[in-house]
Amino acid sequence: MIYFILSFYILLALLISSTIRKIFKNVVLKRFFYAIFLSLFLTFWFLHPGSKDLAPVLSIYFINILESESILQMRLIRPLILVFMLILIFDFILFRNKAKKK
């Protein structure tokens, strides 16, 4: 059951990111916002330092703001930036290969 929910969550994240991608006409903006939204949805991290439970970074970030009133959570921002950069680089590499084939 957990695999079904996780698969549905990833599929929904891809669908939302692709929809946002279609909003923009500029190629760089398309890739940038696609990477932002996909990384926001797909980055998972530990609930608490030392915990074995994982959750999406976006939900952990909102809960931490409500509970501790601290806005800057470096333990959450670092994996988010890493996933963002990986998605963005991968997307630009794929775009470059598609442009060369045409």
- The 3-class secondary structure across the chain, one letter per residue, is CHHHHHHHHHHHHHHHHHHHHHHCCCHHHHHHHHHHHHHHHHCEEECCCCCCCEEEHHHHHHHHHHHHCCCCCHHHHHHHHHHHHHHHHHHHHHHHHHHHHC
- Average pLDDT of every residue of the chain: 87
pTM above 0.75, yes or no: yes
Q: What is the pLDDT of residues 6-24, one digit of tens each?
A: 899 999 999 999 999 999 9
Q: Is the pLDDT of residue 101 over 70?
A: no
